[in-house]
Structure 1
């Protein structure tokens, strides 16, 4: 018995020493330093599972490296801390590829072998499926008539839903559930049109699961649902089915990825944006004051009507825009994954990143960098992004909520308008008061937020009373349309690469 134990222990020691030696001899001297090798290959995984997004922040503070290597089973992962490395990586977007990472999503969503081969074919040219898809659908989500159609429909639904609350007099609800329900409804209806599958409450509730075939049944496309949907859905169908020959079944399964992109983050950001506005009296007063300045009063049918054109919110409400951006900065969790399709050199060839590895630019690391944001980087400052010559302008390259460089979230214009419109309508028409804690707001916890969440999902819903400020007031909400993009990401700021 003692011999068996000794033999087993010796085997474990030998395996451990071999793995440590293997990491040492396979780590190129030019690669970023490998850390957390004490428990070979498994140490980093344990940290990711236990600490989630805080893992990368801790490693930055502990090791103080500009970039480092995590050795995982069968893979290297390079994690970027230094903001100054980001532009050089973004310029090599064909090799430092997000599309290669996104193409692997087909295996998760259940697309066919043929579709997966199509998505992975020719990953570095405009003729390939992934790059051409991005460029083909981009006009539908860029400022202009197609985006205006989606925004207008979204705001119409938002207005209908807030009108219901006014008619009810007041409403008690879980803020997380209410914001999620309203965002799923208005976003999905605006995007998928009259035959929107999410009008079925069962589908709306189940969208987060990846059960085969749960979402966009091929019948949606067989019935021509895409023909009356938004330009985004029409263009995706044209590109995938008409131009590249994807089956209707694969197009339908691929729409799950579209669903995640459209709903996964905006539903959670809506909660955090309303929380940051309504939980602080000063923020609420300042946001409400500038939004109210957009309201005009007209007489229609013998009674006064408050009229507001929400397209003006993007240009005339710098405090609301700043609060929105600061919410994204303080709450974004996205790790910014990329896959290296070839070896990459940095710093004049002094640093080597190996082909086949994964690269991460975690938003929490960049968003808490004092060199980029100042000494108060950990503090929520709702005025941080307000243009002011007396204030230090933030380092926009470090703002990663929508990605950066070649891979900017194509839905950023839609999401920004939608979320700011929701906030504007709520501050104009309602007070939101927490039910518990003596009517005082408490900071939500999110210890159990899913590891893949782009923004933290809170542990417990916040019970609130949503009360109309003036139930007798009549409102007319408009959206006149806009060709102008918001200056949210660095790519829109003159002189920033």
Structure 2
């Protein structure tokens, strides 16, 4: 069976913005109720997955339905990698020995649960905690949370000579992030993405200087691995710098808005605030007039806070998992996917599915991810970190950082809007994978506890059950 086609005229995706695209795929799901359908675009064919049951089937086809050709395209269009370097990076893209697969392994080693991740998490959360000693009493909440996460993450990853300490690099980052989708398409970037190209140059030059000064000696294992493997294959330093420039988007672009939305939903709802505060304060020990927050306790014994964070991911993530069809494939023995086409799994389709999440799928429910029969859901439908072989390797780093920031804010401060009630309705879908607020919120921070705070890990990092792949095999649903 060929996936049923929805006409190009019906969708007019070439005129759609990112948010309009997300809305349309949801409308088509509800209107046609198809498990999978085809969108015909000029020169290409897209298959959109609606049926949650097809996702594990698709993800098992790691070579026939592969992310690697997409990543090579990103190397070329978004990162601007040179032709000689692309020759190296594009070799055997779907094979285990290929650059894409080996680079993924190197990245994962630096972010997988264990000593390397424990060290990275400890550095990041202590940077966050120290920074809060100097937090103003009034801030723009999205701007403030984003800056704190950006600096904690990049300082922990890149060390004392972190390029993002330069305000010019930080400003360029936001311009590059804003031009992501335009650059990825590869359509006349010198005309329609000039600001993004200029920003990419600024960050790339900062990383070239960073590498030239041997700054990696004081950096994380993650950062060293990302340099050493391409360098060993003869990739020029400037191209490694371009790759790291593009990689910075994956490192921080989603964690920043996810942190904002987690804080937003905690502090804008009195019931959520009370639940989370009562839970987190049990993770605090007082010694010698100073407070010690045990983050290991938060991760393992604060299910309401963890659930609130996951629900923020579910409600506000808008990314799409993408696969290239390398060979003709009969998906699930029923749906023919043609070579040269692209498969999309929109997270918005899965995240507001009443079949997967119940009748209140469109509501924010902070207890949704608690392990109780009444809150049972299909974990495969949680797509905030992708899934399968392309599951985000940084999910444990990012979620630990978000939980640490939310916990210490809960314990040290109360947050209230400067004017009027919390705005719960307006947002934009201009980030590649996360909604951002339509306008920033001016808030005031009121100090709860003026004692000195420390963040500790009472035991080595234990991975949280964030995505389907993190769950015990007996609890996974296909």
Do they superpose with TM above 0.5? yes
Correspondence for 2:183: none
Q: Partner of 1:79: helix, strand, or coil? A: strand
Correspondence for 1:19: none
Correspondence for 2:130: 160
Give the TM-score normalised by structure 2. Answer: 0.91
Unaligned runs of 5+ in 2: 177-195
How big is each residue's C-alpha offset from its partner over 1:87-145, in whole Å with a ceiling of 9 and x where there is no partner? 11000011211222122112221111122222221012111000111112212101111
Correspondence for 1:280: 269
Question: Could you tell me whether the CA contact under 8 Å between 2:254 and 2:434 is conserved in 1?
Answer: yes
Q: Is structure 2 residue 137 aligned with structure 1 residue 171?
A: yes
The one of 53, 60, 75 aligned to 2:44: 75
Q: Is structure 2 residue 427 aligned with structure 1 residue 442?
A: no
Question: Could you tell me whether the CA contact under 8 Å between 1:36 and 1:44 is conserved in 2?
Answer: no
Unaligned runs of 5+ in 1: 1-29
The one of 69, 89, 109 aligned to 2:79: 109
Correspondence for 1:31: 2
Inter-partner Cα distance in structure 1 for 2:434 and 2:106: 28
Correspondence for 2:409: 426
Inter-partner Cα distance in structure 1 for 2:172 and 2:22: 25
Question: Could you tell me whether the CA contact under 8 Å between 2:125 and 2:401 is conserved in 1?
Answer: yes
How big is each residue's C-alpha offset from its partner over 1:280-301, in whole Å with a ceiling of 9 and x where there is no partner? 11111111111100111112xx
Correspondence for 2:224: 234
Correspondence for 1:59: 28
Displacement of 1:45: 2.5
Displacement of 1:38: 3.6
Q: Is structure 2 residue 364 aligned with structure 1 residue 380?
A: yes
Inter-partner Cα distance in structure 2 for 1:84 and 1:297: 49
How big is each residue's C-alpha offset from its partner over 1:221-250, in whole Å with a ceiling of 9 and x where there is no partner? 1111122111011011111112x2211111
Q: Is structure 2 residue 159 aligned with structure 1 residue 193?
A: yes
Inter-partner Cα distance in structure 1 for 2:9 and 2:133: 59
Q: Partner of 1:126: helix, strand, or coil? A: coil
Aligned positions of 1:123-138 closer than 5 A: 123-138=93-108
RMSD (Å) for aligned C-alpha atoms: 1.6
Question: Which is greater in Rg?
Answer: 1
Displacement of 1:356: 1.0
Question: Could you tell me whether the CA contact under 8 Å between 1:346 and 1:352 is conserved in 2?
Answer: yes
The one of 178, 202, 207 aligned to 1:214: 202
Q: Is structure 2 residue 110 aligned with structure 1 residue 140?
A: yes
Inter-partner Cα distance in structure 2 for 1:402 and 1:239: 25
Q: Is structure 2 residue 86 aligned with structure 1 residue 122?
A: no
Correspondence for 1:293: 282
Displacement of 1:481: 5.4
Q: Partner of 1:93: helix, strand, or coil? A: coil
Displacement of 1:483: 4.0
Inter-partner Cα distance in structure 1 for 2:306 and 2:104: 27
Question: Could you tell me whether the CA contact under 8 Å between 1:370 and 1:376 is conserved in 2?
Answer: yes
Inter-partner Cα distance in structure 2 for 1:52 and 1:67: 16
Displacement of 1:49: 5.4
Displacement of 1:395: 0.6
The one of 305, 309, 319 aligned to 1:324: 309
Q: 1:341 to 1:48 in 2, by over 3 A?
A: farther
Displacement of 1:74: 0.7
Displacement of 1:404: 0.6
- Aligned positions, number: 450
The one of 224, 231, 238 aligned to 1:249: 238
Correspondence for 1:454: 433
Inter-partner Cα distance in structure 1 for 2:459 and 2:153: 17
Question: Could you tell me whether the CA contact under 8 Å between 2:357 and 2:378 is conserved in 1?
Answer: yes
Inter-partner Cα distance in structure 1 for 2:458 and 2:403: 15
Inter-partner Cα distance in structure 1 for 2:286 and 2:22: 47
Q: 1:492 to 1:434 in 2, by over 3 A?
A: same
Correspondence for 1:15: none
> After the TM superposition, which segments of 4 or more aligned residues of structure 1 sit over 3 Å from their partners?
47-50
Inter-partner Cα distance in structure 2 for 1:274 and 1:230: 28
Give the TM-score normalised by structure 1. Answer: 0.88
Q: 1:274 to 1:50 in 2, by over 3 A?
A: closer
The one of 475, 482, 492 aligned to 2:460: 482
Question: Could you tell me whether the CA contact under 8 Å between 1:203 and 1:214 is conserved in 2?
Answer: yes
Q: Is structure 2 residue 376 aligned with structure 1 residue 358?
A: no
Question: Could you tell me whether the CA contact under 8 Å between 2:8 and 2:41 is conserved in 1?
Answer: no
Inter-partner Cα distance in structure 1 for 2:408 and 2:461: 22
Question: Could you tell me whether the CA contact under 8 Å between 2:320 and 2:346 is conserved in 1?
Answer: yes
How big is each residue's C-alpha offset from its partner over 1:261-305, in whole Å with a ceiling of 9 and x where there is no partner? 011111111111100000011111111111100111112xxxx11
Inter-partner Cα distance in structure 1 for 2:153 and 2:138: 23
